[in-house]
Amino acid sequence: MANDLKQEKMAGLKVLFATSEVAPLVKTGGLGDVSGALPAALCAIGVDVRVLVPGYRQVIAQLAQHEAVAEFDKLPDFPSARLLSGVMPNGVPLLVLDCPELYQRDGGPYQDAGGQDWSDNPLRFGLLSKIAAVLGGSASPLNWHPDLVHCNDWQTGLTPAYLHFEPGAVPSVITIHNMAFQGNFAPETVQELGLPPSCFGINGVEFHGYLSFLKAGLYYADHITTVSPNYAKEIQRAELGFGMQGLLSQRSGDLTGILNGIDTDEWNSATDKHLVKKFSAARMAGKAADKEYLQCRLGLDIVPDVPLLGVISRFTHQKGLDLLLEIAPRLIGLPVQLAMLGSGEAQMQQAAIELSYRYPGKVGVNIGFNEALAHQIEAGADMFIMPSRFEPCGLNQLYSQRYGTPPIVHSTGGLADSVVDCTAETLRDRTASGFVFKGMTAENLFVTIRRAVDLYHDQRQWKVLRKNCMAKDFSWEASAEAYRAVYLKLLGR
C-alpha cells in the first residue's frame, strides 16, 4: 500500500536540470561531475530528468546523434537559438542550447584560452537562464513539460527570476555549488537581459548596485540546496556567506544541505581504465604498481616506502595550496614525495614548478587539466592533500577515500562532513577515514601531515585506515533520494 502511494506520488515527476557544464562532455570542476552523475541517479529512481546545457564546441562535437526540437528566433534581447535533443553517454536525455555566436568558440566555457572571462558572459548565461525558464513556462515549445526547474550556480541563477515573470511557470530549485562565484554585472545588464527594472532592488536581483545572477537565484527560487549540510550552515554566517548570509539566513527554512555523491562507475579502482593495475579492498596489491607508475610518470624517485602525497586542484586561494607550498621544504625532509596536478593562478603555478626544479625526484608537477592523470594520482598516491580554506562539498576527498588514499583536509564545508579524523578512538571503532585539521595555518597542516606520515609507517594501522576509507558508501543513491524529497515537498505531493 505504502509503495503504491509512493509510486503514485512519483508518477511522472519531471525535472529540467539546467547547468553550465556536464561531465564527460564539458567539465572544469565539480559542477561538471555533479551534473553528469546526479541526473543519472535521479533517472535510476524513476525521475524523468532532462539536462539543459549550452552547445559549446566540444559538446556539439560529442553529440553522436541529435535532432533540432525547438527554435527561438523571437526572443527580444537575445540572438536566435535552437534546442537540440541528444543523449548523454550514460543515457540521460540532453537538451543542448545551440547558439553558435555565443557558445561555439575555442577556449573554456567561462574564459578564453588566455584565462580572461568572456566579456559577453552575461548574455551567454542570460540566454541559458532564459531558455530554462521558457521551458518551465506555459509557452514552452516542447511537448515535454517539467514539473520544476532545477538550476545550478550563478550561470543559471537568473532562471528563477525569469520564471517569476513567466506565465504558467513551474517552481524552481537552485543548488549552490560555490558562493564565491556570483556572476555580478553592471546594472545596465538588467535591461539588456530583458528583466523588468522593478526587480532591480534589494528585494530582487540587486547586490550592492550590481545585477547578481546568484542573488537572483537565491531570492526567487522556491527552494535552495547546497552541496553539504555543513556548508548550508556556514553560508548563513559572515565568514563564508560572501555578503549573502543575510538573505540565506532569512531563507534558512527553504535551504537544505545535501552531500554530493560520486559516480561509482567512473571512480572505481577495480575497473578504472586509466590505471596500470586495478585493485580493490580485498586485493590491494595493484596499488603499489600504480604508485610506481605515478612516480615514473612524474619523474619521481622510484621508492616504495616513502609516502607519496597527491594533489589535484584548481590553483586558487580557495584551495589553500599556498600553505602546502610554504611547508613543502619541511615535508620533503620527513621524507615524503609530492605529486601535483592542476592549473589556475599564474603565481601559484610558478611556485609549484619552481618547487619541482628545486626538489627533482621528490616533487612532480603537471600543470593542466588531465582526467587520466587525476585517476592515476588518486590511485597511486598514499595520501591526498586538500587544505581548502572553504569547500562547499569537494569531490576529490571522496574519490581518494574510495581509492584507499586517506585524505588530509581542513575542517570546513563538505570536507568536515565526509572525512573522519584518525584518532586512537576512531581507529578502534573503525570510523577513521583521514586526517582533519582545524585552524587554517601552515603549521597545523604540517603537524597533521606529519601525524599521517607517522601512522603510514605503522603498516598494520594504515591498512585498517585504508580499509575503512574503501568501505564507505559515497554513491549517489542516498543524495538522489534527498533531492527527490525536496522536489516532492515543493510540489506538495
Q: Is the dihedral of CA 389, 395, 397, 398 positive or negative?
A: positive
Regarding 24 and contact with ligand ADP (CB under 6 A), the answer is: no
CA distances from 271 to 206, 267, 379, 421 (A): 48, 8, 12, 28
- The site partner of 313 among ligand GLC, ligand ADP, none (C-beta below 5 to 8 Å per kind) is ligand ADP
Give the chain's length.
493
User: Any bridge partners for residue 256, and if so which?
Assistant: 225
**Site track for ligand GLC across 88-127, x = CB under 6 A:** ----------------------------------------
Regarding 396 and contact with ligand ADP (CB under 6 A), the answer is: yes
CB of 393 to ligand GLC, least distance (A): 4
CB of 377 to ligand ADP, least distance (A): 9
Nearest residue to the partner ligand GLC, using Cβ: 30
Q: Is the dihedral of CA 7, 8, 10, 15 positive or negative?
A: positive
CB of 181 to ligand GLC, least distance (A): 8
- The site partner of 341 among ligand GLC, ligand ADP, none (C-beta below 5 to 8 Å per kind) is ligand ADP
Give CA–CA dist 66/381, Å, rounded.
Answer: 41
Q: Compute the C-alpha angle 108/352/344, nearest 5°.
A: 20
CB of 431 to ligand GLC, least distance (A): 22
CB of 80 to ligand ADP, least distance (A): 33
Regarding 386 and contact with ligand GLC (CB under 6 A), the answer is: no
**Site track for ligand ADP across 312-351, x = CB under 6 A:** xxx--------------------------xxx--------
C-alpha cell at 324: 602546502
Window of 37-45, 88-96, 356-364, 385-393 that interacts with ligand GLC by CB under 6 A: 385-393
Among all chains, which residue has been given the C-alpha cell 556556514? 234
Of 99, 395, 408, 422, the one binding ligand GLC (CB under 6 A) is 395
Regarding 147 and contact with ligand ADP (CB under 6 A), the answer is: no
Regarding 313 and contact with ligand GLC (CB under 6 A), the answer is: no
Nearest residue to the partner ligand ADP, using Cβ: 30
Spatial neighbors of 464 by CB under 8 A, at least 6 apart, are 427, 430, 432
User: Any bridge partners for residue 383, and if so which?
Assistant: 309
- The site partner of 227 among ligand GLC, ligand ADP, none (C-beta below 5 to 8 Å per kind) is ligand GLC
Of 29, 229, 243, 361, the one binding ligand GLC (CB under 6 A) is 29
- The site partner of 314 among ligand ADP, ligand GLC, none (C-beta below 5 to 8 Å per kind) is ligand ADP
CB of 415 to ligand GLC, least distance (A): 8
Of 51, 224, 227, 306, the one binding ligand GLC (CB under 6 A) is 227
Regarding 31 and contact with ligand GLC (CB under 6 A), the answer is: yes
Which positions touch ligand ADP (CB under 6 A)? 29-30, 33, 312-314, 341-343, 369-371, 374, 393-396
Which positions touch ligand GLC (CB under 6 A)? 29-31, 34, 177-178, 227, 260, 391-395, 414
